[in-house]
Structure formats: C-alpha cells, structure tokens
Amino acid sequence: MQAKIEKTINMVQEAKHIDEENKAAIMEKLNEWKKEETAISDFSNHFEKYWLELEPIFAELGWI
C-alpha cells in the first residue's frame, strides 16, 4: 500500500497537466492517506467518483 501511494505521489509531482493549486490539494490528501490503513480503498473510491463526474464532459468533448 505504501509503495503504491509513493508511486502516485511521484506521478502527481511530475504531472504537467495538473495545476499547482490542485496538485497541492492532491498531495495533501495523499500524504494523509499514506498514514491510513484504508488508503487504497479511499483513493479508489475518490477517483471513481471523480471519473463519474467527468466522464460526461469528456464524452461531450469527444475525448472518450
């Protein structure tokens, strides 16, 4: 679990498509999750919800 979160932290830090304000918020949450037992399920649930909100927008733009 810790290794997966570390990998995600590195990916977020290197991401050029994430603006700095969002990156800071993501990093804060990832560092919190790093200390929790349920981190992976929280992480998965959060991004699944995020995807469900954004999928219609991406579909409308023709990106998916």
pLDDT digits (tens, 9 = 90+) for 5-47: 788 888 888 988 888 888 898 888 888 877 776 666 777 778 8
Q: In the numeric block, which tokens belong to residue 4?
A: 């997966």
The pLDDT of residue 47 is 82
The pLDDT of residue 7 is 87
Listed in sequence order, the residues at least 6 apart from 57 whose beta carbon sits closer than 8 Å to its beta carbon are none
User: Model pTM?
Assistant: 0.51
User: Taking phi first (over 0 means left), then psi (-120 to 50 degrees means alpha), and beta for anything else, what does residue 63 get?
Assistant: alpha
Q: How far is CA 21 from CA 2, 13, 37, 52, in A?
A: 24, 12, 27, 22
**Residue 63 confidence class, pLDDT cut points 50, 70, 90:** confident
